[in-house]
């Protein structure tokens, strides 16, 4: 398989392709602040990326990750309702690394050092519209499925 991911910021969709054929399509939520590459902007970076690391294999759906480590908690509706403003990172992490020096790699535009992930989010979070702090949020079951399908190094293109 030659899998790659394309994320449309405008459409709030993540598509998985195999040899040019779309095999999966998911509703996502990218940054509430829109697209952008600067550190501290809370924007979703554009351009060519790759999956640098996969975190969370085997964790239950809703497992809470902090600092890319499981906390032992599982986010349920009560936990989310108690802290809806929290930037929940759940289930799995696909940590992205920019591939374009000066655009999304190096200096103040480095996607990897900005900790930009594709990750799970509480079930109550609305997808299909911008709302994240820069990452690409997905339903927990969807990110678990995607995680199992892709490999480290898989290309990811983020575009408007």
Query: 11-31: string of b/e by CB count within 10 Å (b at 16+)?
Result: ebbbbbbeeeeeeeebbbbbb
**Residue 78 is inside which H or E element, if any?**
helix 77-82
- Over residues 54-84, the pLDDT tens digits come to 999 999 999 999 999 999 999 999 999 999 9
| CA dihedral over 108, 32, 77, 150, signed as positive or negative | negative
Per-residue pLDDT tens over the stretch 128-158: 999 999 999 999 999 999 999 999 999 999 9
Structure-token match 């509430």, residue found: 32
Q: Map out the domains of the chain as residue ranges.
A: 29-152
Q: What are phi and psi of 136, to 5 degrees?
A: -105, 110
């Amino acid at each position: 398989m030659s899998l790659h991911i394309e994320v449309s910021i405008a459409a709030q969709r993540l598509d998985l392709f195999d040899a040019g054929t779309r095999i999966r399509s998911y509703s996502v939520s990218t940054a509430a602040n829109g697209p952008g590459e600067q550190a501290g902007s809370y924007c979703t970076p554009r351009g060519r990326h790759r999956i640098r690391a996969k975190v969370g294999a085997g964790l239950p759906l809703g497992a809470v990750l902090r600092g890319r480590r499981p906390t032992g908690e599982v986010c349920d509706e009560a936990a989310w309702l108690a802290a809806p403003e929290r930037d929940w990172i759940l289930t799995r992490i696909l940590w992205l690394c920019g591939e374009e020096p000066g655009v999304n790699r190096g200096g103040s535009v480095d996607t990897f050092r900005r900790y930009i992930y594709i990750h799970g989010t509480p079930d109550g979070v609305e997808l299909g519209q911008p709302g994240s702090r820069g990452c690409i949020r997905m339903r927990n079951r969807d990110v678990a499925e995607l995680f199992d399908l892709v490999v480290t190094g898989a290309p990811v293109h983020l575009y408007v």
